[in-house]
Structure 1
Amino acid sequence: MTEVRHEDVAAYALGLLGEEERVEFERHLHGCASCAEEAGAFAAMGELIKGVHPDDLLPQPQDPQVESLLVRRAATERRRRRLHRTFMSAAACLVVAAGVFLAVNSMTSGPNPDSIHSPAGALLMTGRTYSATDPTTGVSALVGLEDKGWGTHVALQLKGVKGPLQCRLMAVGDDGRSEAVASWGVPAKGYGVPGSPDPLVLHGGTSLPQSELNHFTIETSDGRTLATVQV
């Protein structure tokens, strides 16, 4: 920098110079004591004009240099706001895209989206799970278990069952004692079958502690076993 104007000194002190201009001016400051002194003075002046906008100036400014600095600061702030808006818009687009991807991915490769946010879906993802497929009926069952003070919280995911049926989930202990965990109706279209691919997902409970459970049976109301899950 062969020549330094007062406006350049003030702009540096107020942080209005671009990156290249700032680096060049700092090199100049190392060899110019007068500019270094003026930069300190202008830094103090910056506190006085920090909240002033060029539009708020009187029609006839008393100091053209101050007006110039304010105009330059306003332009810098507008440029920063534009960059901020661009960045935030890009970030918002990424968030939306990520949300769409996760939603589609969970629909195509994970559990039923409706079940993920249900107590049954959460238990099937975090609890101890056991599964089985009956070779005769083709019914597949996934059971999730969670210890509770009152017994065992039980979740069930059922596939490959056609209706109409009335069914129930039975918990059987090591001592042969059995308890009904839940009961439900299967519509004609069924669950987890062609034309109705979503599984049945539900939850219930048994007073049997998890350590005393032997197996679960999914059976119809007339006593026909659809699947048995050993635990």
Structure 2
Amino acid sequence: MRSLERHRDVGAYALGVLDEADTFRFEDHLMECPRCAAQVTAFGPATRQLMLYRRSTPRLVHPLAEPGPGVLDRLLSEVAARDRAGRRRTLLALTASVVLAVSAPAIALMARDGGGSAAITATTDELSGVWAEVTTEDRAWGSHVRLRVKDGAGPRVCRLVVVGLDGSEETVTSWTVPRHDARPNTMLGGSAIRPEDIARYEVRTADGEHLVTLRPR
């Protein structure tokens, strides 16, 4: 996958329509590209609106249908071009235009995964000073996880680990903390462990050092 194609895959990644291999390659790119990380975060409101629409709308298209590349390109261009003052208005209009343009194929793709309520938990570790917030959404295949973390002790490589009630562990996502940068970073990932089976989330360094623990509410 060329660099330009990685940038253009932001919209597809945010909508959850990349295949497993492309998702893996894009997440590697995401750790090294602040521009794409910011755009993935900006897609959050639009993605939530699509999910709400999905839950209230019956599936009308074949489950393997996909949105055309032109739709994703327009979605990415709209988000990149909007200014701060018009952010909320543009995102809502963008959501409506996607629904009308693709007649719900992207929604149908996400509908295959099921969907459920999202749970949010956040805390700051007194020893490390690292703050983290995890949003977990129930899916048919497991848990969709969104992590926001503030860590001013970089540079270092970190990872989010999900620990199940049975003691099993699964790494959800990993990232590189910039040098002395305490601004929040946002990462997306997924786990085969269902939300009700998760005992806790742990942010650790690549060397295994514990930074912060979050427990589901």
Greater helix content: 1
Q: TM-score, normalised by structure 2?
A: 0.47
Q: Highest relative contact order (Cα 8 Å, sep 6+), 1 or 2?
A: 2
- Larger Rg, first or second structure (1 or 2): 1
Q: TM-score, normalised by structure 1?
A: 0.44
